[in-house]
Amino acid sequence: MDAPVFMNRELSWLKFNKRVLEEAERTDVPLCERMNFLSIYQSNLDEFFMVRVGTLTDQRELNPSMTDNKTNMTAEEQIRAILKEVQILNTQKEAVYADVLDELKEQHVRIVDFKKIDEEESKRLKQYFDVEIAPLLSPMIVGARQPFPFMKNKEIYAAAVLEKSQGKDQIGLIPCSSDVFPRLIPVSNSQSDEHLYILSEELILHFLPSVFDDYKVLGKSLIRVTRNADIDSDALYDEDLDYREFMADLMKKRRRLQPIRLELSRELDEKVIRAFCNEFQIEEDSVFRNNTPLDLSFFGEIRDLLRQKSDLFYTKKPVRKSEQFLPGMKILPQIKDKDKLLAYPFDSMKTFISMLEEAANDPQVISIKITLYRVAKQSKIIEALIDAAQNGKDVFALCELKARFDEENNIAMSRRLEEAGVTVVYGVTGYKVHSKLCLITKIVDGQPEYYTQIGTGNYNENTARFYTDFCLMTSNRAIAQDAIQVFQAIAMDETVHETKSLLVAPNCLQNKVIAMIDDEITKASAGQNAYIGIKINSLTDKKIIDELIRASQAGVKIDMVVRGICCLIPGVAGYTDNIRVISIVGRLLEHSRIYIFGAGEEKKVYISSADFMTRNTLRRVEVGAPVLDSDLKKQILWMFDKMIHDNCQAKKLGSDGNYSKVSGGDKKINSQEIFYTMPDFAPVQAMSKQSAAPANREAAAASDKRITNLNSNRRRKPANPVADFFENLFKRNR
């Protein structure tokens, strides 16, 4: 395709991180939130280098002629373009950082160096260094008999070029990271309202000559190395090994991978830079000179210091209990009566946790099955699953050990579950299990009842407070039958090949999405109204992109909310004229996925765990679910409409490949703020509650009569007839 309708994935991601940085730049954003966005920008960029640039670096060595399938750029060309763009972004970051420091001064907080303090303060810091810090340091000299030490990923070191009388120049290194002394060191012990701090690494760098007192210091700088963290665990795995122990060992290996970026806080002699580059086997354009601290995580401590000043933070929003559930009633009977939908973080996750706790203590519940990708370290969800297992339920948990950077937590969590009697599996060979799927089975009057939950976000109480996500709960039997197939396939290390209701990657999602796009193309070609609405985090799947281009050319109107990477450029004449793309970056991380196909009453609405990325659609186990309840469908469509018309946090992707602020309209629409109250949607909520209440009360009362006190033996097993029934049921479904 000759028209410029594709954008390189990596450069598109950098545009997303630029939008994060622009939130830190906004003066209408509270100061402490600006600091948070600045920290997120840096941590995002660190991970980008560790994963994406790491992957490209490997590709450049192993297959230099390979190109990406959209812009035909080689790995070398992509790396060059990335490094050039990051240098530009660094300049913008430095300006934002300086502006934030100026704003902090108005709050009587200052980050200083030795150029900005008086002689008395300098003496106090020297005494502090000598007593509190110097004894804890581990200085190193690099020479003929002292090889270059291993430098830990993302940790800060003070580096110096040293000269000894009648000797060869050498390099001195001092690790600056420590859990013993604080990162922010008070400069003055006065009782004034002024809070002056110096960063511990700056203090170490300043007094570095006193550590290497036998040498003349010719130059010094703080340095920080970023290492490749991209490991293909499936390619390395030996089937004779214990998979969990293999992953634990892999985490250790990852910490020692090849450096791909070097950051400096000061200028150093070119020959010293070349020496570092030779040691790390990186090129000089991968060296970045920063006029900001090399690690901005200390902003978290400053935010804590200013916590009492509420005007410096976003206004706290109350998390509501969903009005779809009647208080004081059992949850499962209410789901049986009518499908339910939670929208995090506007609705509390406690409702879902209560459902699990209720199931764990319901004698009629015989099994709980769940896929776990990222969970909180102190997880009530894990506690509920453990309780269920100890109460004799058949609990099955897929614990995905390849959840990047959460592997260690997942390994520890899987051990806890196994010790409690939960059946734990670790994934499907060749695929990550990224789905958010839970299936609860009850036996009532000898018949099975199924309660299926499908989500767009992780079973994580912490992230549910600032990630926007959906949680659909239904007793629909067709959906449950597909969910049973998914869990059976996972248990047998297989993938599902056919589904009736759910969209399930890797075999039954991309093809079904393309089929629904084709349906809209057919309608448009016949002169009928056709529409596609998509909300995802990233768009890179070329087969889906090509199909969306065909749909636009056929006259299908397409609205897309794509938070991050978007490899499709909208508004290109003759190709993507009918496609509109916006990105929303705000106080909450947009994480929910919505697929809408059709116009008017014929609209099909799905929620899903899958972005439109090839890794999601073809290389992961993902699950999307139809929203069948008319009230819930209206709610999602209403929310999507607010997002697509957001003119406060949204930025529009133009035909030139750049993002610009959405403007226009007499009324300000900040979708995230609106969703905390959902005032315009109240009539539908009330209607749903009113229509469901009588049946819910009757079902809940009936359930209460059936439920008896639990046996005091918390490790009892289900009665044999029930176990036999369940086993036969699964045999029939195979």
**Catalytic site residues?**
434
- What are the Cα distances from residue 731, in Å, to 424, 428, 495, 539? 21, 21, 17, 39
Q: How many CB atoms lie within 10 A of CB 140?
A: 16
Instruction: Find out whether 606 and 640 touch, Cβ atoms under 8 Å.
Output: no
Query: How many residues are present in the chain?
Result: 734
Residue 653, SS3 per DSSP? strand
Tokens 């949607």 belong to residue: 681
**Residue 288 to residue 223: CA distance in whole angstroms:** 10
**Residue 732 to residue 730: CA distance in whole angstroms:** 5
Q: What angle do CA 360, 364, 369 make, to 5 degrees?
A: 50
List the one residue out of 226, 224, 204, 219 whose CA is nearest residue 156. 224
Residue 33, SS3 per DSSP? helix
**Residue 230 to residue 49: CA distance in whole angstroms:** 10
157 - beta bridge partners? 175, 223
Tokens 């902090």 belong to residue: 104
**Residue 39 to residue 294: CA distance in whole angstroms:** 11
**Residue 215 to residue 208: CA distance in whole angstroms:** 11
Q: What is the 8-class DSSP label of residue 656?
A: T
- Token pair for residue 531? 């529409």
Strands 432-433 and 259-264: unpaired
Q: How many CB atoms lie within 10 A of CB 527?
A: 8
- Token pair for residue 347? 């609705």
**Residue 471 to residue 536: CA distance in whole angstroms:** 16
583 - beta bridge partners? 651
**Residue 486 to residue 507: CA distance in whole angstroms:** 12
Instruction: Find out whether 567 and 8 touch, Cβ atoms under 8 Å.
Output: yes
Instruction: Find out whether 148 and 157 touch, Cβ atoms under 8 Å.
Output: no
List the one residue out of 722, 706, 701, 708 whose CA is nearest residue 337. 701
508 - beta bridge partners? 504
